[in-house]
Amino acid sequence: MNEVLCMKNITKRYENGVLANENASFSLCKGEIHAIAGENGAGKSTLMKILFGAEQPTEGVIELSGKQVKITSPKVATRLGIGMVYQHFMLVDELPVYLNVFLGIEKRRGILLDKQAMIRETYELCRKYDMPVDPMAPCGELPVSLRQKVEILKVLARKAEIIILDEPTAVLTPQETEQLFRQLRILRNDGHTIVIITHKLKEMKMLCDRITVMRQGRTVGVVNAADVTEQQLSELMVGNAVLLKVNKSPAHPGKIVAEMQKAVVPGSGRLRLDNVSFSVRAGEILCLAGVEGNGQQQAAECMTGQIAYQGSVKVLGQEVSGRSVRTIRNLGMAHIPEDRMTMGTDQQASLHENLISVDFGSNTRLGFLRNKKLRLRSEQQLMDFGVKGQYHTPIALLSGGNMQKVVVARELSQSPKLIIADQPTRGVDVGAIAFIHEKLVSLRDKGCGIVLVSADMSEVLSLSDRILVFHEGQIVAEITDVGNTSEQQLGRYMLGIDRMEAGS
Partner 1 sequence: MLDWVLSESFLMNVIAYAIPIIFAACASLISNKAGISAINIEGAMSVAAVAGALMSHFSGSWIVGLAFAMTAGVLMMMLLALAALWLRADSFLSGIALNTFASGICLLIVKGVLNGRTDSSTAPSVMVPQVRFPLLSDVPVVGKAIFSQNLLFYIMLAVLAFLVVLLNCTKLGVQIKTAGYHPEASESVGVSVKRTRVIALVICGVMAGLGGAYLSMANLGYFSAGMVSGRGFMGIAAEAMGAGAPIKAGLFALLFGAVDYFAVGGQTVLSFPYELLNTLPYLMTLITLIIYATAQKRKKG
Partner 2 sequence: MKHRFVRPLLNIVVRLALAVAVAAVVLTGACLLLKGNIEEVMAAFFLGPLEDEYAVAEILREAVPLIFTGIAVSLMVRCGQFNMFVEGAFFGGAFLAGVLAPMLGEHAVITPLLTILAGAAAMGILGYIPAKMKSSLGVNEFVSSLMLNYIVFWVVMYLIHGIAADPDYPNATPYLEDTMRLPLLNEDTELSSNLVIALAIAVCSGLFLFKTKWGYALRITGDNPSFADYSGISSDRYVTASQVIGASLAGMGGAAFLLGNYYRFQWSSLPNYGFDGFVITSIAGNNPYAVPAAALFLGYLRVGALQVSRLGDIPNEVIYVIQAIIIILFGAHFFFHARRKGGAGNA
Cβ distance to partner 1 smaller for residue 112 or 241: 112
Buried b / exposed e along 33-71 (16+ C-beta atoms within 10 A): bbbbbbbbbbbbbbbbbbbbbbbebeebebebeeeebeb
Partner from partner 2, partner 1, none binding residue 239, C-beta < 5-8 Å depending on class = none
The Cα–Cα gap between 457 and 140 comes to 26
x/- binding map, residues 27-66, to partner 1, per CB under 8 A? ---------------------------x------------
Query: What is the rounded CA–CA span in Å between residue 425 and residue 493?
Result: 23
Bridge partners of residue 215, in order along the sequence: 218
Closer Cβ to partner 2, 342 or 480, answer by number: 342
The verdict on 345 binding partner 2 (CB under 8 A) reads yes
- Under the binding rule (CB under 8 A), the answer on residue 311 touching partner 1 is no
SS3 readout for 320-368: CCCCCHHHHHHCCEEEECCCHHHHHCCCCCEHHHHHCCCCHHHCEECCE
User: Quick one: 199 exposed, middle or buried, by C-beta within 10 A (0-12, 13-18, 19+)?
Assistant: buried
**What single DSSP character describes residue 96?**
B
| 75 touches partner 1 (CB under 8 A) | yes
- Among 1, 92, 343, 502, indicate the residue that binds partner 2 (CB under 8 A): 343
- Using left for φ > 0, alpha for ψ between -120 and 50, and beta otherwise, residue 332 falls in left
Contact assessment for residue 155 and residue 163, using Cβ atoms and an 8 Å cutoff: yes
14's contact among partner 2, partner 1, none, with CB below 5 to 8 A by partner kind, is partner 2
Residue 361 binds partner 2, judged by CB under 8 A: yes
Choice from 105, 244, 397, 500 touching partner 2 (CB under 8 A): 397
Contact status: 106 vs partner 1 (CB under 8 A): yes
Q: Is residue 94 part of the contact set for partner 1 (CB under 8 A)?
A: yes
Among 8, 19, 63, 74, binds partner 1 (CB under 8 A): 74
Asked if residues 209 and 46 have their Cβ atoms less than 8 Å apart, the reply is no
Beta bridge partners of 350: 394
For 118, other C-beta atoms within 10 Å of its C-beta total 22
Task: Report the residue count for the chain.
Answer: 504
155 vs 443, beta carbon nearer partner 1 = 155
Site membership for partner 2, residue 368 (CB under 8 A): yes
Tell me how far the alpha carbon of residue 212 is from its chain's centroid.
22
Q: 164 by DSSP, 3-state: which? A: strand
| Nearest distance, CB of residue 107 and partner 1, angstroms | 9
Compute how many other C-beta atoms are within 10 angstroms of the C-beta atom of residue 234: 18
Q: Which residues are CB-neighbours of 285 under 8 A, at least 6 positions away?
A: 251, 440, 441, 444, 450, 452, 463, 464, 465, 466
The item of partner 2, partner 1, none sharing an interface with residue 242, based on CB under 5 to 8 Å by kind, is none
Q: Is 143 in the site for partner 1 (CB under 8 A)?
A: no
Applying CB under 8 A, which of residues 6, 29, 69, 103 lies at the interface with partner 1? 103
Q: How far is the CB of 252 from partner 2 (least distance, A)?
A: 31
Letters for 301-340 (x = contact with partner 2 by CB under 8 A, - = none) are ---x-x-----------------xxx--xx----x-x---
Interface mask toward partner 1 for 430-459; x: CB under 8 A: ------------------------------
Burial (0-12, 13-18, 19+ Cβ within 10 Å), 102: buried
User: Per-residue contact track with partner 1, 147 to 176, x per CB under 8 A?
Assistant: -------x----------------------
Q: What SS3 class is residue 63? A: strand
- Minimum Å gap between C-beta 334 and partner 2 is 11
3-state secondary structure of 286: strand
Count of residues binding partner 2 (CB under 8 A)? 36
Q: Which does 106 bind (CB under 5 to 8 A by kind): partner 2, partner 1, none?
A: partner 1
The answer to the question of residue 11 lying near partner 2 (CB under 8 A) is no
**Residue whose CB is less far from partner 2, 71 or 139:** 71
Task: Categorise residue 25: left if φ over 0, alpha if ψ from -120 to 50, beta otherwise.
Answer: beta
Binding mask 244-283 toward partner 1 (x if CB under 8 A, else -) reads: ----------------------x-----------------
Residue 111 binding: pick among partner 1, partner 2, none (C-beta 5-8 Å cut-off by kind): partner 1
Residue 73 binds partner 1, judged by CB under 8 A:
yes
Is residue 123 a contact point for partner 2 (CB under 8 A)?
Answer: no
357 binds partner 2, rule: CB under 8 A:
yes
Q: Contact region for partner 1 (CB under 8 A) — 88-96, 168-176, 273-281, 309-317?
A: 88-96
CA separation (Å) from 308 to 105, 303, 324, 460? 43, 10, 10, 27
Window of 15-23, 62-70, 291-299, 429-437 that interacts with partner 2 by CB under 8 A: 15-23
Q: What is the SS3 assignment for 132?
A: coil
Q: Are 391 and 373 in contact (CB under 8 A)?
A: no
Contacting residues toward partner 1, per CB under 8 A:
54, 73-75, 78, 86, 88, 90-95, 99, 103-106, 108, 111-113, 115, 154, 266
Q: Residue numbers of the site for partner 2 (CB under 8 A)?
A: 14-16, 18, 304, 306, 324-326, 329-330, 335, 337, 342-349, 353, 356-358, 360-361, 364, 367-369, 371, 392, 394, 396-397
